[in-house]
Amino acid sequence: MPELPEVERGRKLAESVARGREMVRVECAHDPIVFQGNDAETLVQALLRRRVCAVRRRGKQIWFELDAPPHPLFHFGMSGGFHTRGARALRLKSGPRPDPAWPPRFAKICMGFDDGGELIMTDARRLGRILLRGDPEHEPPISRLGFDPLLDLPSPPRFVELVQARTAVIKSLLLDQRFAAGVGNWIADEALYQSGIDPRRRSSSLSSMEARRLRQKLRSIVRRAVAVNADNDRYPRTWLFHRRWGRRPDATTHRGERVEHITVGGRTTAWVPAAQS
């Protein structure tokens, strides 16, 4: 699933194509699941001839600020994403190889702009959403989100307070979008590995030092991943990221420590018992 760095990459792509441009062509698939009740005609009428003033993101949600409401809100789900002609599509570590054909398959919305640019959102598994909101920041789903680790990570004392006040398992807490918007499975596993924290521990059991270390690692991981535009080949080779996929029984870290896979809070979790306690 696209997590914060992958979604930020999508935001940057959309911004490069759409910001300051007027939508002169809008085509929508007839998909009541992805559009969640809005029919294609409603979407077209709402967006056609509207100018994109800004492209914004919080957590895994992206929205266009238009020159008049309603504003479109995009969520990529498990396998969705933005595409534009000539740009290399992002390949998720656990996903299929991107199809270079144009237009791409599984298009849900195609937006053409006044300079000839084109932006398409695809979603093969139909778990993404394209919604209309009058005031996206103050309406669900965005209004229900917690802090964004890239945009407004709490101060160290506040982060400690938030973590220690919860009784949830720490891995589950990190995945709760009401707590940390944009953190998904690989980021949570990476932050806990680099912090040396067992993913099964209760949040309230973390010491202030451990919680501060977790905050620092979460911050550095997200910033590094965003800085390389979610190109996972450029992530540090010491990261657990490169060793966590496929549930391989012989997987080891760069130091030779065994990587194990367990289920925590219903999610597959990669961790290193020798390094996390």
Residues acting as catalytic residues? 2-3, 60
- Residue 199 sits at the vertex; the CA angle it makes with 252 and 218, to the nearest 5 degrees, is 85
Give phi and psi for 108, each to the nearest 5: -105, -35
